[in-house]
Structure 1
Amino acid sequence: MTNDQWGAAVRLLWGPRPPEKPARGPRRGLTLEGIALAGVGIADAEGLGGVSMQRVAGELAVTKMALYRYVPGKAELVALMVEAAMPEPGAGAPRGAGVAAGGAWRERLGAWARELLEGFRRHPWLLEATVGARVMGPRELGWMERALAALDGCGLSGAEAMDAVVLVSGHVRGIAEQERAAGRTAGADGEGAGGGPDAQLAVMLGEVMRVHGAEFPALGAALASVAEHGGQDQALEFGLERILDGLGLLVDRRVGGR
């Protein structure tokens, strides 16, 4: 989205909602929410590449020109879709409770990461739609606020807290990208047909390792362990816990130095 497009996106995401009937043209009963949800439905089924103003207009049984009276282009449409698809960020952490609550920042930030992954699992196209310079809506900013509030009172500077959130969200996005590439269909409990990326890798390398396993003993031992534990992929939790361990060391150093 270019600079001259940001104004329209800001007005759509943050300004007062326009009346259902546009200034000109017949009333079609269109709303920004309905338009966004139509786009979300297409993206969920076909990916972000399947979304166009023409397709959304067809889903709503209106002309593309009628749609343009509400949304000026695809960039703004995608911004509305992101806002509609993002789950509610939930309650933020109380201000100043990061350390006083006995390290509760860790539990809150961990819960935030797991909930964010579930959002990407429900709508994988969000991975594409939430990168680059763009306007973010109230829900998406609410997610950032919740993560930063969890770290409030931990002795981190604003820049460090922002970097910590980027680090955690980057790990979550990486896991979501792996799952998407592996074609995993995950349910609410995070388990899906075919297992996680590690389990699928073991299946794909099965024949190769049977023939050449002696050349790659460390890989063979790791894959055997995956098979022994039922192919349960722990990449999210392992990486998340290590990131939180590192942040914990920094928090302890900052708090102890006061």
Structure 2
Amino acid sequence: MFFWEERPRATRGPKAALTLDQIADAAIAVADAEGLAAVSMQRVAAELGFTKMSLYRYLPGKTELVALMLERAIGVPPALDAAGWREALTAWAEALLRRYEAHRWALEATTGGRPIGPHELAWMESALAVLPPGLSGAERMDAVAVLAGQVRMIAGQAGTAESELAATIELVLREHAERFPALAAAVADAAERGGRDQAFGFGVGRILDGIEVLLRAR
């Protein structure tokens, strides 16, 4: 039985008092407020007014609990009704970024070996379905992985805007611009012509450009 499936009700004994959604929501509330490290079977059980052991009737352990949290927090992907594949994949990346921004702990929850649920697979399915023909199966998977990697990278930098980083850099360049001439030139140009805080869109656009060039070459 998969972690996201409700356990069958026992024919004898007390009826189940919780649902997997209730458990996931309680755990998500803890993680949103205090981070993923604060989540434990004991803590979530206490939040729900139950004992730690009672939670094991629903989930084998914390690994499955975190996977369930991710399923609930990330949810299903949006419908991609854009006219072209580039627009659809851009909308996909933007939607995924918003989900990560809403639940900062989700980045940590998606690293390493772990169970994967149907919602996460649905996000992959959604992106793969709108990629144009001409790529091999491995290339299609890699294209989605690279695009998701751009989303994860930007989400991991949340709270530190490019303009804030530039301001810090400029403080150093005022005294040491000669040591970093290329950096000084780029910062000066950005200050004059604008274009800061666009790393997400720039990265997504260049990834899609690369896919388009590859397809045209074939």
Structure 2 length-normalised TM: 0.89
Cα distance, 1:231–1:60 mapped onto 2, change above 3 Å: farther
Identity within the alignment, %: 54
Compute the RMSD of aligned alpha carbons: 2.4
C-alpha spacing 1:48/1:219, structure 2 compared with 1 (3 Å): same
Hey, what's the Cα distance between the residues in 2 that align with 1:248 and 1:117?
Answer: 23
The match for 2:153 is 174
Q: What does residue 12 of structure 1 align with? A: 3
The CA distance in 1 between the partners of 2:80 and 2:197, in whole Å, is: 29
- 3-state secondary structure, aligned to 1:11: coil
Task: Report the Cα offset of residue 43 of structure 1.
Answer: 0.8
Paired residue secondary structure (2:120):
helix
Are the structure 2 counterparts of residues 214 and 22 from structure 1 closer, same or farther at C-alpha, using a change threshold of 3 Å? farther
User: Partners in 2 of 1:22 and 1:59 — Cα distance?
Assistant: 25
Whether the 8 Å contact between 1:171 and 1:240 is mirrored in structure 2 is: yes
The change in CA–CA distance for 1:229 and 1:126 in structure 2 (over 3 A counts) is farther
Partner of 2:203: 239
CA distance 1:26–1:249, change in 2 (3 Å)? same
Measure how far apart 1:207 and its partner are: 2.9
Q: Is 2:75 the partner of 1:75?
A: no
Q: Which secondary structure state, in structure 2, belongs to the residue aligned with residue 156 of structure 1?
A: coil
Query: Structure 1: how far apart are the matches of 2:193 and 2:54?
Result: 55
Aligned residue-pair number:
218
* TM-score, reference length from structure 1: 0.76
In the TM superposition, 1:171-250 aligns within 5 A as 171-179=150-158, 184=159, 196=161, 198-228=162-192, 232-250=196-214
Unaligned runs of 5+ in 2: none
Q: Give SS of 1:140's match.
A: helix
Cα distance in 2, alignment partners of residues 169 and 51 from structure 1: 25
- Structure 1: unaligned runs, 5 residues or longer: 1-9, 95-100, 185-194
Pair 1:150 & 2:141 matched: no
